[in-house]
Structure 1
Amino acid sequence: MMTGASAGMPVPDRLRAAVGADGIVTDPERLAGLSHDVAGPAGALPLCVVAPETLPALQRAVAAATESGLAIVPRGGGMSYTGGYAPSAEGSVLFDMSRLSAVAEIDTANRHAIVEAGCTWASLHDALRSTGFRPPSFGPLSGGASTVGGAVSHNAMFFGSGSAGSIAGSVLGLEVVLSDGRLLHTGVLRPEAVDALPHGPDPTGLFVGDCGAFGVKARIALRLAPVAGGEAFLSTAFDDPLAMLDAQTALAGRPGLGECFSFDRQAHRNILDRRIGFREKLGAVSGVARGTGGLARAARLPAEGLGFLERADYSLHLSVDGDDARHAAARAEALRAELAQRGGADLPDTIPRVTRARPFGPITALLGPRGENWLPVHGALGLARAAGCMAALQDRFQTVAGDMAEAGVTCTVLTVLAPRCVLVEPQFFWPDRLSPFHLAHATPEQVRLYRETPENPRARALVFELRNAAADILQAHGAAHMQIGRYYPLLSRLTPAQADIHRRIRAALDPDGRMNPGVLEG
């Protein structure tokens, strides 16, 4: 239950002075919206939201919050579904990083880019478009709103993950503001230079996936690699989800594999519904020529449509990179032949082609096709464990299929391949009122259509029960999690030695316990 006692406390003068009057939010309604993530409201309203515009202002504000006895809760693009930026106790300051959003440096000769933590993946993509370079792992599906700092804090993945894995492998160094306001440089970053390699032991990895528990990320140095000279795409239908998953995991580590993801029947229904956003993306892609087979091919996509999904129970979608178009096509044909041997049947390649052509368009999938609330849960599983986990998830959902149908709850399971693991992400949809999160992030048309949807506590309770059951199944099969936040367990899964070192490191970096208390503590 969210409480609002913090909102009545005065904002310390030093904190107000650090960011200026236009960098402070105290309106309770805005505080509620900014601290509410996909899964629900914060445990308590923050005292205020601060939005620093410069690195010195960020340092001053962090130091002022600590000296005032306030907790420091970093917030990126606001796409968390594990409470990462949702304060769990009163007396906190939410640090909105959206004004620290510059692409500070692009150095293709030395293969790196430096961005401020509030830079979105879409902004970085646009800045790099003419250079012929990008990070090997170049953003999550939500990259139109998600920030680079947030993705590093969650160790996210999607675009490029077929070969590059999660964002961790693309991070060269960080500038992190510690709880006392000091600036820590890691990896290749130094105050006045960028080194070729980290000089000695490198603490960068401590801050990747830390959910802001160790410090506030200010700038990130990312590895750059040449964009492939050619792209090819393929989609394959399967009759059985476990056969499809076996085929997908067999492709792990293949050269040139960019993205490799799957949809099930419910996902197909959602896409085919005329109100979901993939159709808008499909129409817009006709103006995108580079890397998609040219204008003639792109212009045919809207006419070809998505009707083929009505005939497919399960579908696997691949983007494949190569030195040039012929090389990419040859790689794709080899993968197509292998998938055919495993029972796959060809589908039009519309979905991976459109997904790669416009990777960071407007986000419309935060609500279901009929305005349903959406809540995911995920786990990254070892390749050999994925099928057993998927079967267990299917069994669990089947036991409550009647309850789900009666409450209007549906579920789809997305899978995404990386070189050594596969991400399995059940996603639940149910009719319910729009939350402050939806009002802030849904499209104006979605808000207009669904603002008056009544509350549905019965369906909501069932979804949260199923989410917890799915998390238990994922963890029983050895899943790791990318955005641990305040939901997934951490300390309880560590050995005593690991847990002791974790606590000691956190205490050394944040001796007063001010940095995002409540995350990484389960």
Structure 2
Amino acid sequence: MSNATATAQDVIAQLKVSWGKDIVTDPNELEYFATDVYSQGQPLLAVLRPGNAQQLAGAVKQLTDAGIAVVPRGGGMSYTGGYTAARSPSVLVDTGSLDKIVEINLEDAYVVVEAGVTWRALKEALDAKGVRTPYFGPMSGSHATVGGGMSQGAVFHGSARYGCSADVVLGLQVVTANGDVLTTGSAAAANTSPFFRWYGPDLTGLFLGDCGLLGIKTRIVLKLIPKHAHIDYLSWQFGTPDGLFGALSALARAGLASETAAFDPALTRIRMRRASLSSDVKALTNVIKKGGLISGLKLAVKGRDIVDQEQFSLHITLEGDSAAEVADRVARARKLVESFGQSVEPSIPKMMAANPFAAWNSMLGPQGERWAPVHAIVPHSKSVAVFNALQALFAREQETMDRHGIFIGTLMSSVGAQTTLIEPCIYWPDSHNAFHVRTVDVDHRERIGCPGEHLDARAAADKLKRQIAHVMRSHGAANLQLGKFYDYRAGRDPAALALLDAIKAQLDPKGLMNPGVLAR
């Protein structure tokens, strides 16, 4: 045993005494925590489950003083290696026990949450008060946490109208590799509440989208708005990607929709190959509760024929504070899109709104295939070019894809007024890893089955994943959830990188806070 290993094991032994059941060293648990949706990292020494920031800060300093890397983890829904260890020895910090909603301040319109609160838990607590955060979580929000969404960046619920996860933040509490607990936003000043972000230089922004490079978020302050009282839904079909992207861009610039979701024909076929929506009693019940019996009956009758599987489709929700406001938004949306596509029954957005965080089983394909999304965030003016370049790539790789049973469907959305998101999803036959086994519902995995290990297909899918990212980057795309996969440093302004590196050196002089993220 090397001196470094001996020192690491000594530190873990000391932490076991002080942390008790809140430190995990069981091999099966360590395997699970070392794995994300897509890959497995280096073996872990232990997993810490802190109960507060001060307890965590002391342990982090103890670990980094001993040369042990520290890796923060939220809800685990990463597929870019955001929390998989890139080196040994490493200890993972599971923030799931930091699950308190600390303060809901209705008068000053903010909420303070600990990092391990899930988006679903937050929504349920705020629903009871008649308020919401403008952006209120990804489709995986049953498991994904607020802290994870701040570290990696997240979009979907509320994004078309209000932007991404970072757009709703007022301030943070962060534990650094030095063992410091720092506060950003107005609460960093003595006797000042966390009501305002812009108090001098925006230190909050440094830690948003950092993938845990600069520290471990332990508390987040988010804006509150009144919950919209009225909602409606629209869906369209389009014969070409030009029509779809034209409609999506027009709606985004007008700021009419709260959420937008679009599927290419391939993704529509994948979704419809799953169990018929009409057979999902729980999902139908939620539709009936939210939209009434007629909505549920229409969905049950239509089943898999909700949309033409050979067409592109777009599905949106529209919200307002009065029936008149929503009616106006609907009328304006119809007028904007009428020249691009054909209106269809909006069963899909009704289902999505009634079951906002029901995506965890979707990380496996309809026959148990593995799943890996790759996304691009582009200005509207580049959306068609990026989509077409990706289709050209898929055409060139079709023989390889067919040989290995790989298929791809593409999701599209909008984020705020300026942005289109394009996300091809790769599916390939392969075994399920420890994360899938723990996270996907047992009955769902039994129903869809498992293809078993296919190493050649896995390697081909990984190569294709990187080719997709290269095509996107060559067209000037940006990315969220950078983790250890997407390019960040390549081609970036040297002065900006020098500033980031200086901040990193100040907060983490040994480079032990989540090594490997933002390194490409």
TM range (shorter): over 0.9
TM (norm. structure 2) is 0.94
Question: Are the aligned partners of 1:235 and 1:316 in contact in 2 as well (CA < 8 Å)?
Answer: yes
Distance 1:380 1:452 in 2: 32
Provide the C-alpha distance between the structure 2 equivalents of 1:413 and 1:503, rounded to a whole number of angstroms.
Answer: 35
Q: For residue 61 of structure 1, what is the amino acid of its counterpart?
A: A
Alignment of 1:108-507 (within 5 A): 108-190=106-188, 193-197=192-196, 198-275=198-275, 280=280, 282-289=283-290, 292=291, 294-298=292-296, 300-310=298-308, 312-342=310-340, 344-361=341-358, 363-418=360-415, 419-449=417-447, 453-507=451-505
SS at match of 1:365: helix
Which of 508-517 and 364-373 deviates more? 508-517
Which amino acid letter does the alignment assign opposite residue 346 of structure 1?
A: S
Deviates more, 1:76-85 or 1:60-69: 60-69
Q: Per the alignment, in what secondary structure is the counterpart of residue 316 of structure 1?
A: strand
Aligned-pair CA distance for 1:435: 1.1
Whole-Å Cα distance in 1 between the matches of residues 363 and 176 of structure 2? Answer: 33
Residues 171, 222 of structure 2: 8 Å contact kept? yes
Distance 1:355 1:213 in 2: 33
Q: Take 1:279 and 1:138, find their aligned partners in 2: how far apart are those partners?
A: 28
Equivalent pair of 2:369/2:451 in contact (CA under 8 Å): no
SS in 1 for 2:360: coil
Q: Does 132-141 or 440-449 show the bigger shift?
A: 440-449
Say which SS state the counterpart of residue 317 (structure 1) adopts.
strand
Deviation of 1:277 after TM superposition, in Å, equals 7.3
SS of equivalent to 2:253? coil
Q: CA-to-partner distance for each residue in 1:126-166, whole Å, 9 max, x for gaps?
A: 10012221111111111110000000001211111111111
What is the RMSD of the two structures over their aligned residues, measured on CA atoms? 2.1
* Mapped contact 2:63–2:70 kept (Cα < 8 A): yes
Aligned partners of 1:70, 1:276: CA distance in 2, in Å? 49
What is the DSSP-based 3-state SS (H/G/I as helix, E as strand, rest coil) of the residue aligned with 1:257?
A: coil
Q: By how many angstroms is 1:402 displaced?
A: 2.7
Provide the secondary structure at the position in 2 that maps to 1:37. Answer: coil
CA distance in 2, matches of 1:449, 1:116: 36
What is the alpha-carbon distance in structure 1 between the residues aligned to residue 220 and residue 65 of structure 2?
A: 26
User: Post-superposition shift, 1:370?
Assistant: 1.0
Return the alpha-carbon distance in structure 2 between the equivalents of residues 110 and 273 of structure 1: 47
Going from structure 1 to structure 2, the CA distance change for 1:349 and 1:312 (only over 3 Å counts) comes to: farther
Select 2:70's aligned residue among 63, 72, 77: 72
Q: Quick one: distance in 1 between partners of 2:210 and 2:319? A: 31
Judge which range, 271-280 or 442-451, deviates more. Answer: 271-280
Query: What SS does the corresponding residue of 2:402 show, helix, strand or coil?
Result: helix
Is the CA contact (8 Å cut-off) linking 2:270 and 2:409 kept in structure 1? no
Alignment of 1:51-130 (within 5 A): 51-130=49-128
Describe the SS at the equivalent of 1:49: strand
Q: Would you say the 8 A contact 1:434–1:450 is kept in 2?
A: no
Shift of 1:450: 6.0
Task: For 2:366 and 2:450, locate their aligned partners in 1 and report how far apart those are by CA, in whole Å.
Answer: 16
Q: 1:409 to 1:341 in 2, by over 3 A?
A: same
Deviation at 1:310, TM superposition (A): 3.9
Where 2:306 maps in the other structure, the secondary structure is helix
Following the alignment from structure 1 to structure 2, what is the Cα–Cα distance between the partners of residues 238 and 475? 27
- In structure 2, distance between residues paired with 1:120 and 1:227: 19
SS in 1 for 2:363: coil
Q: Structure 2: how far apart are the matches of 1:145 and 1:126? A: 14
Q: CA deviation at 1:267?
A: 1.9
- 8 Å contact from structure 2 (residues 171, 194) kept in 1: no
TM-score (norm 1): 0.93
Instruction: Work out the CA distance in 2 between the residues paired with 1:75 and 1:480.
Output: 23
- Read off the aligned partner of 1:336 and give its amino acid letter: R
Inter-CA distance 275–304: structure 2 relative to 1 (3 Å threshold):
closer
Task: Report how far residue 311 of structure 1 moved.
Answer: 5.1
> Offset of 1:189 from its aligned partner?
2.7
Show CA shifts across 1:69-125 (max 9, x none): 211100000011110100011111100000101111111111100100000000001
SS where residue 375 of structure 1 aligns? strand
CA positional deviation for 1:330: 2.4
Contact 1:15 1:65 survives alignment (8 Å): no
What residue ranges of structure 1 are gaps of 5+ in the alignment? none
CA drift of 1:479 comes to: 0.7
Q: Secondary structure at the match of 1:246?
A: helix
Deviations 1:303-324 (A, max 9, x none): 3434132455110011111221
- 1:491-510 deviations in Å (ceiling 9; x for gaps): 22311111111110110111
CA 1:26/1:195 → structure 2, altered by over 3 Å: closer, same or farther? Answer: closer
Q: What one-letter code is carried by the residue in structure 1 that aligns with 2:399?
A: G
Contact 2:35 2:435 in 1 (8 A): yes
Assess if the C-alpha contact under 8 Å between 2:368 and 2:450 holds in 1.
no
Asked if the contact 1:434/1:451 (under 8 Å) is kept, the reply is no
Q: Which runs of 5+ in 2 are unaligned?
A: none
**Equivalent residue of 1:261, what SS?**
strand
Paired letter, 1:45:
P
Q: Secondary structure at the match of 1:397?
A: helix
Q: 1:113 to 1:494 in 2, by over 3 A?
A: same
Residue correspondences, number: 512
Q: Give 4+ residue runs of structure 1 displaced > 6 Å after superposition.
A: 5-8
**What residue in structure 1 maps to residue 26 of structure 2?**
27
Letter in 1 for 2:350: R
The 3-state SS of whatever aligns with 1:113 is strand
Residue identity opposite 1:431 in structure 2? P
Distance in 2 of aligned mates of 1:132 and 1:296: 26
Q: Is the contact between residue 408 and residue 427 of structure 2 (CA under 8 Å) also seen in structure 1?
A: yes
1:25 Cα deviation (Å)? 1.3
**1:246: how far off?**
2.2
The question of whether the paired residues in 1 share the 8 Å contact of 2:295 and 2:347 is answered with no
Q: What amino acid is the match of 2:376? A: G
Which shifted more, 509-518 or 245-254?
Answer: 245-254
Stretch deviating more after TM superposition (404-413 or 204-213): 404-413
Structure 1 residue 427, shift from structure 2 partner: 0.4
